[in-house]
Amino acid sequence: MKNTTWMIGAALLLSGAVNGTMAGVEFDADGAVPGKWTMDYEAAKKVAQEKQLPILLDFSGSDWCGWCKVMEENVFTKPEWATYAKDNLMMVLIDFPKDKSLVPEKYVERNNALKDEYGIRGYPTFVVLDQDGKTELGRLKSGRDKTPESFQAELKNLLRFRQAEVEKYCAALSGEDRKTYRGFLDELATKQAEQKLAEKEEAEARAKARQLKRDVGELEEKMLEFRVAQLDEEERKKFEELETKLEETGKKLSDWMRSKPERNDENMKLYEAMQAEIQEIEQQISQY
């Protein structure tokens, strides 16, 4: 099967048409039915409530993400997946393509909001929600060896913790066992909430660290510029020559690395020599 991307033309969007195809699999821009991909998150949530079905959110980069295309071809285009999904899932595509015409304008801001809400850091990310469209049951990843059957098995493992499935399971337990199991569920919910908060704080800390690193670099650059401005003409000329030499040497190393030289003793010595030269120039610049 030819490996294609999610496809929906700008002309269709402008004309109000709602159908598109993904590697031969149809999806809707508006409206939602069980087992068929849609971009209409609100419609999917409404049907999920009515039919008591879980929701699969696919955060995708449909026209550029290699792993997204792998999942399309190996899982979502297969008849075994279609057979399972039509009775068991609402499926929503939350897309971030390079070709902006692939997503209706009305969904762009919403997609970005959902990406932030769920802390999505890579594509594809599959978020599984309960029928309320709020309770997160878990997340799944892509994989080259995924099949419709293996992906279904992963989903079913998460769906065991849907409220409806929990109630069904607990109803078959004795009073004391039911109490014990519900205790496990309460503890699980607490730990999952703590994990989600910790992951959010971790992401925020990483973002803050990156920004601080940029700020430090900018301040160091300003301080260097200030110090250089205090030099006499002869010293400034020496500094400028060093900066030019550093740029040229760095470009030389970068170009050489891009040529993918053979890994041998001779090239390792050449690499080390260029690195040493760069470090020597940087050391001289640091004296200013």
Query: On the CB side of 19, how many CA atoms lie within 13 Å of its CA?
Result: 3
This model's pTM is above 0.85:
no
Lookup: tokens for 149: 């059957």
pLDDT 10s digits, 115-163: 999 999 999 999 999 999 999 999 999 999 999 999 999 999 999 888 8
Under 8 Å CB-to-CB from 231, ≥6 apart: which residues?
A: 239, 288
Find residue 125's DSSP bridge partners. Answer: 59
- Domains, the chain, in order of start with CATH, read 6-147 (3.40.30.10), 231-288 (no CATH)
- Cβ atoms 267, 261 nearer than 8 A: yes
Task: From 286, 261, 281, select the one nearest 271 (Cα to Cα).
Answer: 261
Of the pLDDT bands very low, low, confident and very high (cuts 50, 70, 90), residue 29 is: confident
Q: In what order do the strands lie in the sheet with 6-7?
A: 6-7, 19-22, 25-28, 37-38, 90-95, 55-60, 125-129, 136-140
Across residues 2-10, what is the average pLDDT? 38
